Amino acid sequence: MKSFLSETLETVLMALVIFLVLQASVQNFRVEGASMKPTLDAGEYLLVDKATYLSLPLGEAKRVLPMLPINRDQVVYPFPAPERGTVIVFKFPGDPHRFFVKRIIGVPGDTLEIRNGQVRINGAPLTEPYLEQPGSSDMKPVTVPQDHFFV
């Protein structure tokens, strides 16, 4: 009887650990709208790996251990940071309950502008083979701050 209880407890604990790891590292999202066409269509579901682009803000470490030679605003990525062309899911700044699915086109330090619908990064036109049709808008130059991305 004792071995049955210990085996059951071990199985339940292992299932709980697996569940918690999956909850922390994978999440599903539904694509809304047509802004990512033709790559993603409205209504499609995505499984997103949340662990790959985990960021660790070092401000708390600096507060607890002030002797560390780090910048309070510095963010570290345990894995490679996201790069241009990567499709990401992020919380909408105006409503943290909404999530957006977008493609990164600007990385920290880039200067972006749009002239007659053509995105230019650091003065060079961005090749966007995923666009069905070019836009026609304009945007004055902006520089992407450290630890930020332009989507």
Residue 11 φ then ψ, to 5°: -65, -45
Spatial distance between the Cα atoms of 89 and 102, rounded to a whole number of angstroms: 7
Tell me which of 3, 50, 91, 102 is the catalytic residue.
Answer: 102
Annotated catalytic residue 137? no
Tell me which of 35, 50, 55, 91 is the catalytic residue.
Answer: 35
Half-sphere exposure of 128 (CA within 13 A, CB side): 23
Q: What contacts 24+ positions apart, CB below 8 Å, involve 130-133?
A: 130/38, 130/39, 130/103, 132/37, 132/38
Annotated catalytic residue 91? no
Spatial distance between the Cα atoms of 143 and 6, rounded to a whole number of angstroms: 59
Catalytic positions, written as ranges: 35, 102
